[in-house]
Structure 1
Amino acid sequence: MKKILVIGSSSVDLTIELDRMPAQGETIKAADLELFCGGKGANQAVAIARLDGSVDMLGCVGNDGHGELVRENLTANQVNTEKLGVSSITSTGTAHIFLINQDNRIIIIPGANNEVTSEFVEQQLAGRLSEYSLVILQNEIPSETIHYIVNCCKKAGISVLYNPAPADVEAAQLMDNVTFLTPNETECQQIFPELTVEEAVTNYPNQLIVTLGEKGVLFHDGKELRQVPAYPVTAVDTTGAGDTFNGAFALAIVQGKSLAEASQFANKAAALSVTKKGAQQGMPTIQELEAFS
């Protein structure tokens, strides 16, 4: 089985459900507070594993209860955690999610995710990068690490899926060295401010894959624009939908599916993910995906 390596963030999500955000100086009551495991890297790794993919997670957590919870949850979801390090100087990262009318606003505290440096990655990999068919990256670890890993993969001839979220304008500088760049529509406009989304994907055929939420996915196949429609569902919690898409898309690619097929597969997984609460808890299993029409 072809193996995927996710290098990125692991955290605990503190989800607060409320009707609206408070105004300046105002105190309001929230409906509920729930704790979930998250982090874009860990989310994408779990998405792959729940779809029966083989995936390793490389990242860092704190030496605390949240870190133990993250590791236990990854292991329970069949993600290999041998390359998940523990920081002795900072706590596990957290994301504070405000869930309002089935949509979300998120504040991230990186914590141990900032310890995923180039030196840390080199130490954790121990010269075994060539074992992987594809490496997935996101922007919740230091930018310098992203550039280092992309260069390493380029030299080793290993495919890279780079999900530039949260958006980083420097992502455009890596287009010559990444296999796929997968921003959402807003991130795409921030990365390529001089271009429309249609112009951007046309400039990077079969490489720039832009997610459009309810409108699906847009890319250019070298001949024409291709828009793969989303699956209509009733959303309960959109947290982690993009991560589900990226994990499912990566898995479909290493399985040999075309970009259109991979996008359709990933759209289906993302649609199912928003029908449940929690980024990782809502991610579908392969059995659930196959039963969904």
Structure 2
Amino acid sequence: MTGQLVHTGQVVLDLVMAVPALPPPGGDVLASSTNLVPGGGFNVMAAAARSGARVLYAGSHGTGGFGDLARTALAAEGVELAHEPTSELDTGVVVVLVDATGERTFATGTGAEGRLRTLAGVHPAKDDIVYVTGYSLLHEANRVALLGWLPRLPGSAVLFDPGPLVAAIDPGTLGKILSTVDILSCNAREAGVLGELPPVAVVRDGANGCQVREPGRTTDVPGFPVDAVDTTGAGDTHCGVLAAELLRGSTLLDAAVRANAAAALSVTRPGPATAPGREEIDQLLEATR
């Protein structure tokens, strides 16, 4: 392992409720299950840590019960914190309603994670990978902090995942961020929204695997057939494991193979942070040779 993963995104708490259907306006429904679990950027960091990467969380986290839960979960994965808790805010919560068809509906309450004041005290090394998510660009404070910080990095590789709300990002801001990116990781729909991609890109395509685009060549990397139970967080798992393998010195193609295997394993179990460890990935790769 060379450097570490420096994650600049947002950790939130997901309040996940299974409901028969969405309630009508002014109405109510009884949930069959309720879970409060860490989400957002936590999924990427957990995936990277479980594959052996050292991880630093450079985002904001709040003071309060939700912030405490987030920090406990991060500590359990061995993730270090770059900042002290933000004193006047708690960490935000996303209410996730999952209906009987598996459709997910979200309502987000932004907290300290959306009000990152500065990254000036975070100093990545040349052999680190800095992870940037498109969600950060939708929060003014985070966007300003990133735009002022990224151009001054000492040569650290920037891994950018634009996320599902890529179309909502200001084009000027998106262009500035893309000018700093070394590796893009996105799904096929997001790639279509972006149009022109950076020279190095990993385009995820669900069960089909991914496509690795490098200067002069494009390679289809097949997925691993599994019985999917819950696809939540599969893209996060893919990003985290991809970063972890690159930090180990793997080629982008080799890293993509392991990321595909990890994402496949993650969808065989319910929940967002279901990334496997290295041994599980090794076992799947060995079984499919």
TM-score (norm 2): 0.85
1:144 to partner: Cα distance: 2.2
2: distance between equivalents of 1:188 and 1:275? 26
Deviation digits for residues 130-183 of structure 1 (CA, Å, limit 9, x no counterpart): 275211111333222332332122xx1111001112323443443332101212
Residues matched between the structures, number: 273
**TM-aligned CA distance change 1:84 to 1:144, over 3 Å:** same
Question: Within 2, Cα distance between the matches of 1:242 and 1:78?
Answer: 21
Whether 1:174 and 2:172 are equivalent positions in the alignment is no
Within-5 A mapping of 1:18-37: 18-24=19-25, 26-37=27-38
Could you tell me how far 1:275 is from its partner in structure 2?
Answer: 1.9
Distance 1:191 1:106, change over 3 A: farther
- Amino acid paired to 1:64: G
Structure 1: runs of 5+ lacking an equivalent = 193-199
The percentage of counterpart residues that share the same residue type is 27
Q: Which residue of 1 aligns with 2:139?
A: none
Q: Which residue of 1 aligns with 2:221?
A: 228
Quick one: distance in 1 between partners of 2:26 and 2:5?
A: 47
Q: Does 1:185 align with 2:188?
A: yes
Distance 1:230 1:104, change over 3 A: farther
Q: CA deviation at 1:219?
A: 3.1
Measured after TM superposition, the shift of residue 262 of structure 1 is: 1.3
Task: Give the letter for the 1:7 counterpart.
Answer: T
Alpha-carbon distance in structure 2 between the residues aligned to 1:235 and 1:104: 16
Q: Residues of 2 paired with 1:19 and 1:272: CA distance?
A: 27
Match of 1:219, SS?
A: strand
* Matched AA of 2:108: I
**Deviates further, 222-231 or 240-249:** 222-231
Quick one: distance in 2 between partners of 1:178 and 1:70? Answer: 28
Supply the distance in 2 between the matched residues of 1:286 and 1:64 (Cα, whole angstroms): 34
Tell me: CA distance 1:106–1:275, structure 2 relative to 1, closer, same or farther (3 Å).
Answer: farther
- What is the alpha-carbon root mean square deviation over aligned residues? 2.2
Distance 2:35 2:13 in 1: 10
- Aligned pairs for 1:1-293 (under 5 A) are 1-2=1-2, 3-24=4-25, 26-40=27-41, 42-81=42-81, 83-100=82-99, 101-102=101-102, 104-117=104-117, 119=118, 121-123=119-121, 125=122, 128-130=123-125, 133-141=128-136, 142-153=142-153, 156-165=154-163, 166-167=165-166, 168=169, 169=171, 170-192=173-195, 200-201=196-197, 204-205=198-199, 207-280=200-273, 282-292=274-284, 293=287
Distance 2:103 2:243 in 1: 25
Q: Where do 5+ consecutive residues of structure 2 fail to align?
A: 137-141
Pair 35,4 (structure 1): closer, same or farther in 2 beyond 3 Å: same
Rounded Cα–Cα distance in structure 2 between residues aligned with 1:103 and 1:149: 38
TM-score by length of 1: 0.84
Contact 1:110 1:140 (8 Å CA) reproduced: no
Instruction: Assess if the C-alpha contact under 8 Å between 1:98 and 1:105 holds in 2.
Output: yes
Q: After superposing the two structures, state which structure 1 stretch, 14-23 or 54-63, moved more.
A: 14-23
Change (3 A) 1:265 1:103: farther
